[in-house]
Amino acid sequence: MSTIGNFEGFQPVALRSDGDDQPSERDKLPTEEESSGRDLELNGDARQSSLTKAVLYPNPYTQPHITRKYFVTRPGAIETAREDLKSHVAETMDEGVQGFWLLTEVDHWNNEKERVVAITDNTLLICKYDFIMLSCVQFQHIPLSSICHICLGKFVFPGTSLDKRQGEGIRIYWGKSEEQSLLSRWNPWSTVVPYATFTEHPMKNSSEKFSEICKMSEFIAKLVPAVENAHKTSSRPGRGKGVMVTSEPIRIETYTGLMSFIGNRNKLGYSLARGSIGF
């Protein structure tokens, strides 16, 4: 079993394409802020930290109308989602909630899907949430004790894939990928997949609030000890050895990728304002 020493150092790279809503944090800052660099060094870390927050929240490159296109950023939307998930956990699971995150799930056909993820005492809860109607559409309950492998790494694709994704993510296994049937592997709508893959949400830098709930390193830092604790207390056969955490490429086997190319470019997996229709 191998472990990753410092989860806080895991910094997924933002996805970039011609249609992306916002550029990476690593992009060059405006000239005015470069010219103030000498003053920052003289005035110490406090002023540097203040400027960093001013630069990132909100992202100076993000146009306000683009941010508002995502319904999750509307006032009260994410708070309502959190309360709905808390109610679901209290009513059906009788467990405590350790944390909530807003992430993007990448399915086995490379389609992006907006998800609210919660870690409870014994379960990883993945929720498809409709931020337009403010309602839970679908739940996926994964026992923490069934999670056997957590993989962190860059996305890799077959050489012929049309829609190749840049950046990094996390893949969580609760079964062996070799055991996945050929039918479910080649079915883009199949839900019988023994793993889930996540990357950061496009609105991660729209505000300080969203930075906290979209931060992948915080999710990993909470998930790994929760899974390890579940293994220790589990009575299931073969458990108690802990979870394997590795750093290796995350392979997505889309050889053409036409469907995900169209869907991801148009953000079809997100609750998004599509504009008016008619006259």
pLDDT tens-digit series, residues 25-38: 444 444 444 444 44
**Among 86, 118, 88, 112, which Cα is nearest to 100's?**
118
Contact predicate 142/124, CB 8 Å = yes
d(CA 254, CA 157): 7
pTM over 0.85: no
**What are the tens digits of pLDDT across the range 219-265?**
999 999 999 999 988 776 655 567 899 999 999 988 777 888 888 88
- Quick one: residue 81, left, alpha or beta (phi over 0 = left, psi -120 to 50 = alpha)? alpha
Q: How many CA atoms lie within 13 A of 8 on its CB side?
A: 0
Bridge partners, residue 126, by sequence: 117, 140
User: Residue 55: its pLDDT value, please?
Assistant: 47
Whether omega before 58 lies within 30 degrees of 0, making that bond cis, reads yes
Please tell me the distance from the alpha carbon of residue 168 to that of residue 152, in angstroms, as a whole number.
Answer: 7
Q: Indicate if the pLDDT at residue 104 is higher than 90.
A: yes
Structural domains in the chain plus CATH codes: 50-265 (2.30.29.30)
Give the pLDDT confidence of 54-80 residue by residue, as tens digits.
Answer: 445 555 445 666 778 999 999 999 999
